[in-house]
Amino acid sequence: MNQIGLGRKVSSTVPPEQYLLPRRLTMRSYRMWNAPGVLDQGGTAQCVAYSGFKYLITGPVLNHPSWPPVDLYRECQKVDEWEGEDWDGGTSVAALFKVLKAKGFVTEYKWAYDAATVVGHLLTTGPVVMGTSWYRNMFMPHEETGYLECNGANDGGHAWLAIGANKKRINPDKSVGAIRMVNSWGTKWGPQRGRAWISFNDLDKLIKDRGEACVATELKISFWDPREDERGTAWV
């Protein structure tokens, strides 16, 4: 497996109540969103940018940015709450969506802080960008089950994309219900080529440990090219 990096920072900004995602009720028990391909951030601290880039190219709205995640990462570091642009310092999910809104890819964006709200959105509306702690035993999914085991030492923060949910799936610990995630560590990560399962119980644990989930009203737009920003012609 290639070198892997983390890079998600926890923002100190708490969104007002009007920016909290409402819980959606549904009779649907299973849904997976079209998320072709697996990205690879390598050993960089660019997981937030990679998860945001993957969010844009995953259904139901499919955008195809003409710039790589590294450019998105640079833009996030310019607007996040930390001074300087430390290449290995990472950035926040809040900065990601601030940039995506400024560039016209999304309008409003909202936050969820519990597993039930995340699952409801996955089943009814679309994928979810997750920012969570990353525990030692999460660096490689279980070889046989493809599940992440969310325990061990806390080794930092990571951003990743939740792409589906199955409320009836029986997990290895006999609990019921799991979400499907896609990571940004290439197709050699894990037995399921860059994807893994997380039980609802572990999802709840991750969110309660300073985790966050963010979704947006995404627009189908022309492509932003950051190289043209200084001349005011950022649309190609």
For the chain, what is the domain count? Answer: 1
Please check whether residue 213 lies inside any domain of the structure: yes
Strands (E) in 67-153, as ranges, are 91-92, 106-112, 128-135
Q: Which helix (H) or strand (E) holds 199?
A: strand 195-199
Please check whether residue 2 lies inside any domain of the structure: no
**CA-CA distance, 127 to 33, in Å (whole number)?**
7
**Amino acid letter, residue 208:** K
Please check whether residue 68 lies inside any domain of the structure: yes
The CATH code of the domain that includes 111 is 3.90.70.10
Under DSSP, the state recorded for 77 is: H
Q: Which residues of 165-201 are buried (b: 16+ CB within 10 A; e: fewer)?
A: bbbebebeeeeebbbbbbbbbbbebbebebbbbbbbb
- In the structure encoding, which two tokens stand for residue 91, read together? 């950035």
- Helix or strand or coil: residue 10? coil
Query: How far is the first Cα of the chain from the last one, in angstroms, to the nearest whole number?
Result: 36
pLDDT in tens, the chain (236 residues): 558 999 999 999 888 888 999 999 899 999 999 998 999 999 999 999 999 999 999 989 999 888 899 999 999 999 999 998 888 999 999 999 999 999 999 999 999 999 999 999 999 999 999 999 999 999 999 999 999 999 999 999 999 999 999 999 999 999 999 999 999 999 999 999 999 999 999 999 999 999 999 999 988 874 544 444 343 333 32
Residue 62's domain spans which residues?
8-231
Phi, psi of 163 (to 5 degrees): -120, 0
Q: How is the chain split among helix, strand and coil, in percent rounded to 5?
A: 25, 25, 45
Tally the C-alpha atoms within 13 A of residue 81's C-alpha that lie toward its C-beta: 10
**Amino acid letter, residue 148:** L
Please check whether residue 17 lies inside any domain of the structure: yes
**Amino acid letter, residue 29:** S
Please check whether residue 197 lies inside any domain of the structure: yes
